[in-house]
Amino acid sequence: MDIVKLLEKSMSMDESSWQRHSNPWSVYSRFTLLPLLSLAFWSRDWIGVYSIIPILMSFLWVWVNPRLFNAPKTTNNWASMATFGERIYLNRNVETIPEHHVKPILVLKSLTGIGLPIFIYGLWALDLGLVLVGNLWIMVFKAWFVDRMVWLYLDMKSTKTEYDQWLKL
């Protein structure tokens, strides 16, 4: 099975979760994930096998975060529109997305992925410099990807009434 599909399925996002995730607090606080994972995995040097606790808590944060905040009163902002674009992108096998988004999204996902081995090796070797470079690399390209999701939403919102209704002024 495709790892991305498996991760999407494990999140089990329903309509309520998506509405709550469109809260800017949810979107911006997700950028804490990589630093939290870094600390959790690094903690093996301090607390040994008990580092499994902060590691599991970090992964729990991934699942809890989109459900933690209330649905926002207004979604006319960058963060909310990013989640709308993500929803559209995740549904790309059912409804095609404009061709001018496909290649840039793949490039951004690939560039994000380049930082992963640096990040993982840095954690394995307990090399703070590599962990920081990996964090920065991944977060910069992930933020750029998220920005592309806003663009995708803005291009697609008029194609379906459902998409347009996600935007609350």
pLDDT tens digits for range 97-121? 999 999 999 999 999 999 999 999 9
How far is the C-alpha of 114 from the C-alpha of 105, rounded, in Å?
A: 14
Whether the pLDDT of residue 79 is over 60: the answer is: yes
If DSSP codes are grouped into helix, strand and coil, which group holds residue 133? helix
Report whether pLDDT(58) > 70: yes
What is the domain partition of the chain in residue ranges?
3-166
Asked if the model's pLDDT at residue 2 lies above 70, the reply is no
Q: The pTM is what? A: 0.87
pLDDT at residue 156, as a whole number: 95
**Judging by beta carbons within 10 Å of its beta carbon (0-12, 13-18, 19+), is residue 82 exposed, middle or buried?**
buried
Pairs from 76-81 (Cβ < 8 Å, separation ≥ 24): 76/167, 76/168, 76/169, 77/24, 78/24, 78/147, 78/150, 79/22, 79/23, 79/24, 79/26, 79/27, 79/28, 80/22, 80/23, 80/24, 80/27, 80/166, 80/167, 81/149, 81/150, 81/153, 81/154, 81/167
* CB of 76 closer than 8 Å to CB of 167: yes
